[in-house]
Amino acid sequence: MFDWQFSLLLLSNGVLIGLMYSLIALGFVLVYKATDAVNFAQGEFVMIAGFVVVGGLTVVGVPLAVAVVVGLVAMIAFGFALERVMLRKLIGRPVIAVVMATIGLAAILRGIGPFGIFQGTRPLPLPLRDEPFILGPLFIPPIQLVGGGVSLAFLAGFGWFFLKSRKGIAMRAVADNQQVAMAMGIDVERYFGLAWAMTGVVSALGGVLWGNMLGVDVNLALVGFKVFPVVILGGLDSIPGAIVGGLIVGIVENVAAGYVDPYVGGGTKDFAPYVLMILALMVRPYGIFGKRIIERV
């Protein structure tokens, strides 16, 4: 028998989780829109941000607000430094060079991230109540509500940035063709650095939100893999696609967990998004809102 209240609960939780996925997916989109390459170290960025904030709270002993600000500044600096030291040398090279560099970077960050200081999973407490908000049949965890709101705000802000601001339009031009952008007088190196710094901001926010939900350890980097189906579904170069893809994946995960898990013993939410991703690649490989590229052979 269909239980509409249970279904509504699954949908509401799926929407909020999906928005939090969209925030992490924005990191993929920012780098792709500026560099035309996929950052496979996005999950590790979130992990490092979580370690920085937890380190500030537990090792240094600073207040939460200070730890979050330090995390934001650290990730912005990390993004700038990474672009200048490693990725700037790859400007004009084939995209696969950047992709392989980020894969190698992901492995390095997973290895040195904890650095022997944080053994086990560390909590990242936020000043939020533990009890969910109850609205009729809905049980909404406060962290999901806050995460959904923060995600919407930043997604709207970055959307305006790329569509309306001069810097955002310049970043889109750089992604379209680096050589032509250089010929038109655009400082490609500067916009590469800006893209990675903006990714650092998104990663810091994601590290705080997801670190609170899951705890901070090396496994926090797996959020990046969970989000990859989101960007494939929505389109690697589309901010609206990141929102829609996040909502689809969040809802599918929760519905699968609620209706399918009782019959198969659990675990469907772990692979359902990837099934969806494969189907999307077969039908619309450039994503729902992605830019369709046609090449003459």
**pLDDT for residue 131:** 83
Distance from C-alpha of 211 to C-alpha of 221, rounded to nearest angstrom: 10
Q: Does residue 91 surpass a pLDDT of 70?
A: no
Assess whether pLDDT exceeds 60 at residue 294.
no
* Global pTM value: 0.88
Is it the case that residue 73 has pLDDT exceeding 90? yes
The mean pLDDT of the chain is: 83
CB atoms within 10 A of CB 216: 30
pLDDT classification of 21: cutoffs 50, 70, 90: very high
Rounded average pLDDT over 28-41: 80
The pLDDT of residue 281: 84
pLDDT attached to residue 114: 62
